[in-house]
Amino acid sequence: MNEQNIYNEPATLTAELQDAAFEYLLLNPGSEFGDWSKGLIEEYPAEVVDALGNTPNEVNADLADLWETDYTDPKTGIEQKFSEWAMSFANEHAVGIYYFLVDACTDLKRMGRKF
């Protein structure tokens, strides 16, 4: 393993967990912290273990920290804490509005404009 990979790997694993954490909220409207943390552990175990380890108390504490961490959605460029994303995806109607926003951002990018 080269030196660059040694230093980038933890960041990559954390980014993969953050992407999974966002995806979980998007696919499970109305999730609160307990639903989200349990869902991540059950549905994305590899990402959780790779980024946070497998000690339950440490994983739960790290997920609590992650819940209040900022995440920038790559499709819209919007940055919010995971707890705020959960509120943004409070129900299926809200998720539908998000997808309209994604489409609008894609159209703007095609026109050479930034959202």
Cα 67 to Cα 1: distance, rounded to the nearest angstrom: 32
* For residue 10, pLDDT beyond 80: no
- State phi, psi for 49 to the nearest 5 degrees: -65, -45
Residue spans per domain, the chain? 3-110
Q: What average pLDDT score do residues 100-115 get?
A: 89
pLDDT at position 69: 98
What pLDDT, on the 0 to 100 scale, is given for residue 114? 72
Name which residue leads in pLDDT, 26 or 8.
26
Q: Is the pLDDT reported for residue 4 higher than 70?
A: no
Per-residue pLDDT tens over the stretch 34-88: 999 999 999 999 999 999 999 999 999 999 999 999 999 999 999 999 999 999 9
Q: Using CA atoms in the order 102, 48, 63, 74, what is the torsion angle rounded to 10 degrees? A: -20
Give every CB contact of residue 33 below 8 A, 6+ residues apart in sequence. 64, 67, 83, 86
Distances (CA, A) of 39 to 9, 93, 113: 24, 21, 36
72: part of which helix (H) or strand (E)?
A: strand 70-72
Q: 113 phi and psi, to 5 degrees?
A: -110, 155
Bigger pLDDT: 74 or 5? 74
Mean pLDDT check: name the lowest of 17-21, 74-78, 81-85, 110-114: 110-114
